[in-house]
């Protein structure tokens, strides 16, 4: 358009030098940039995925090597069951008790479920860790961020009151349950937890518990 | 009184500052972007409170989908200068008596997404013309005891790059026996440390509440 106006003036015979620079229409450029920005915003992964570390116990390759002994009084078993249920029982099952299996306590993944149970087992240690964190936050202990983690792991190391949690998965559990229970361990500050294979009698116990639960609901209906 | 002539031209908006602003945003996005790789199957990762970011290299990722298929990937995103992806494939080819051409190795190196192709179909997969034909070949890596190709991948990945770490990216609904099998195969190869890829969530515990 600028050119047309200039031509008309030329016809009039007035030679007027233009003062202002020619105007460039930016609209198509803006359109293009809008498109590119929208494209990049949609394809960008802003939040990077996080990782949770887990170390599994080494498989025993030598048949003469015995599995490490743990005290039965501190042992707590957690079995991931079907339908997002969790079953727990304390201690171990001795071979002479195979006909008389201990009852399972049923719970779920909610805040009032497994977390309460875990904190109940781990109260002393959790309180220590929490006190320590509070002191760091309030400034009573001046310590670098890296040392905080080390200090907490030291607290966990020297602790001998918390439970030894054995996590087992029934075959109908899913991967989400597995990650959730490990996450609960981290939230509740459990010092010693292990993921181990489920035994046949524990499978029986879960089946019995599930069976009881299903017949109970059927009879109540 | 002379009539005042109103300008008929529509006001022109100066777009220059807008262009400036857009350029800044665009350059920022282009520099910070990490392209989201399309995975062969959609995986909803579970949540955890862990805040450790995923490493960028030295990792092998096992993708476990909802329907129990297992895919594998080495070094998400940009390949390192070491270029060990083609080396791993070459070793795998030697083990199964398949000779890969340099072009096929290059395709494998460039292929960014996870792979779930049995090694017998790998040649066909790498020479496939379009992504649709490729997707049909993605049936998951065989991992039963008779044909444990996943174990072989792990073996050669660790031979070529001893610093490699195992990452597990599973769908929250994936059945546990499949996950257990992958873990078992890894443990057979003496990998006992795993990274589980999760999304971040926050958890808050009220100590007063639990002490009642």
* A169 shares its domain with A100: yes
How large is the average pLDDT for residues A177-204?
A: 79
Chain A residue closest in CA terms to B9: A1
Show residues of chain A in contact with B70, CB under 8 Å: none
Domain count along chain A: 2
In the three-class reduction of DSSP (H, G, I as helix; E, B as strand; rest coil), residue B129 is classed as: coil
* A133 shares its domain with A216: no
Least-confidence region, from A101-105, B7-11, B29-33, B103-107: B7-11
Shortest alpha-carbon distance between residue A220 and chain B (Å) = 30
Percent of chain B at pLDDT > 90 equals: 0
Q: How many CB atoms are located within 10 Å of the residue A145 CB?
A: 7
- Residue A82 maps to a domain: yes
Q: Model pTM greater than 0.80?
A: no
- Residue B161 maps to a domain: yes
Digit-coded pLDDT (tens) for B150-207: 777 888 878 777 777 888 888 888 888 888 888 888 887 777 888 888 777 776 655 5
Kindly determine whether residue A50 and residue B193, on different chains, have CB atoms separated by under 8 Å. Answer: no
Quote the tokens at residue A95.
């071979």
Show residues of chain B in contact with A41, CB under 8 Å: 29
- Residue A152 maps to a domain: yes
Residues 6 or more apart from B140 whose CB is under 8 A from it?
B65, B68, B69, B70, B71, B116
Q: Which domain holds residue A147?
A: 124-161
pLDDT at residue A15 above 60? Answer: no
Quote the tokens at residue B152.
């072989």
CA distance A166 to A196: 7
How large is the average pLDDT for residues A120-148?
A: 76
User: Does this complex have an ipTM over 0.85?
Assistant: no
Kindly determine whether residue B176 and residue A173, on different chains, have CB atoms separated by under 8 Å. Answer: yes
Domain count along chain B: 1
The answer to whether B41 and B64 are in contact (CB under 8 A) is: no
How large is the average pLDDT for residues B27-44?
A: 75
Number of H helices, E strands in chain A: 7, 6
User: Which DSSP category does B58 fall into?
Assistant: S
Name the one residue in this structure whose structure tokens are 């792979």: B115
CA distance B168 to A196: 18
CA distance A192 to B20: 57
Of A42-56, B6-20, B60-74, B119-133, where does the model show the most confidence? Answer: B60-74
Q: Which domain holds residue B53?
A: 47-200
- Residue A54 maps to a domain: no
Digit-coded pLDDT (tens) for A57-105: 777 666 666 666 777 777 788 888 788 878 888 777 777 766 777 777 7
* Confidence grade of residue A171 (pLDDT, cut at 50, 70, 90): confident
Show residues of chain A in contact with B176, CB under 8 Å: 80, 169-175, 177-178
Which of A161, A189, A210 is the last residue before a domain boundary?
A: A161
- Residue B29 maps to a domain: no
Digit-coded pLDDT (tens) for A53-64: 787 777 766 666
* A183 shares its domain with A111: yes
Residue B202 forms contact with A (CB below 8 Å)? no
Quote the tokens at residue A190.
């459990």
* A169 shares its domain with A181: yes
Pairing of strands A75-80, B59-64: unpaired
- Residue A206 maps to a domain: yes
- Residue A35 maps to a domain: no
Chain A residue closest in CA terms to B167: A51
Kindly determine whether residue A186 and residue B50, on different chains, have CB atoms separated by under 8 Å. Answer: yes
- Residue A68 maps to a domain: no
In the three-class reduction of DSSP (H, G, I as helix; E, B as strand; rest coil), residue A106 is classed as: strand
* A128 shares its domain with A211: no
Q: Which residues pair with A52 in a beta bridge?
A: B196
- Residue B185 maps to a domain: yes
Q: List phi, psi (to 5°) of B52.
A: -80, 125
CA distance A156 to A191: 5
Show residues of chain A in contact with B23, CB under 8 Å: 33
């Amino acid at each position: 358009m600028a050119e047309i106006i200039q031509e008309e003036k030329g016809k009039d015979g007035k030679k007027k030098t233009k003062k202002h620079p020619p105007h460039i229409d930016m609209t198509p450029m803006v359109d293009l940039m809008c498109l590119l920005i929208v494209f990049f915003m949609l394809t960008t992964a802003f939040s990077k995925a996080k990782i949770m570390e887990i170390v599994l116990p080494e498989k025993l390759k030598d048949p003469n090597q015995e599995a490490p002994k743990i005290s039965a009084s501190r042992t707590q078993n957690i079995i991931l069951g079907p339908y997002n249920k969790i079953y727990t029982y304390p201690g171990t099952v001795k071979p002479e008790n195979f006909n008389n299996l201990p009852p399972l306590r049923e719970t779920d993944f909610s805040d009032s479920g497994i977390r309460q149970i875990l904190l109940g087992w781990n109260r002393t240690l959790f309180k220590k860790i929490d006190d320590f964190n509070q002191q760091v936050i309030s400034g009573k202990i001046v310590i670098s961020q890296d040392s905080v983690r080390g200090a907490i792991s030291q607290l966990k190391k020297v602790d001998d009151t918390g439970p030894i949690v054995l996590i087992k998965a029934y075959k109908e559990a899913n991967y989400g349950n597995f990650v959730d229970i490990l996450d609960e361990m981290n939230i509740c500050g459990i010092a010693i937890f292990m993921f181990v294979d489920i035994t046949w009698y524990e499978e029986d116990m879960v089946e019995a518990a599930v069976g009881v639960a299903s017949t109970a609901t059927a009879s109540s209906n | 009184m002379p009539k005042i002539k109103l300008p008929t031209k529509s006001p022109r908006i100066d777009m220059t500052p807008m262009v400036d602003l857009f350029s800044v945003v665009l350059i920022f996005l282009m520099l910070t972007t990490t392209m989201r790789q399309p995975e062969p199957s959609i995986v909803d990762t579970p949540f955890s409170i862990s805040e450790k970011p995923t490493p960028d290299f030295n990792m092998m990722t096992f993708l476990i989908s909802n329907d129990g298929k297992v895919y594998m990937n080495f070094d998400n995103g940009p390949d390192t200068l070491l270029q060990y992806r083609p080396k791993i494939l070459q070793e795998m080819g030697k083990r199964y008596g398949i000779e890969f051409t340099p072009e096929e190795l290059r395709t494998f190196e460039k292929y960014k997404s996870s792979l779930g192709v049995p090694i017998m179909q790998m040649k066909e997969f790498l020479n496939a013309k379009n992504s649709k034909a490729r997707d049909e070949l993605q049936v998951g890596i065989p991992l039963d005891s008779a044909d444990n190709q996943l174990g072989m991948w792990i073996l050669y990945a660790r031979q070529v790059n001893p610093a490699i770490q195992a990452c597990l990216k599973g769908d929250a609904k994936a059945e546990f026996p499949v996950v257990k099998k992958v873990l078992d195969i890894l443990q057979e190869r003496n990998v006992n440390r795993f990274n589980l890829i999760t999304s971040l969530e926050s958890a808050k515990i009220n100590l007063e509440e639990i002490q009642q």
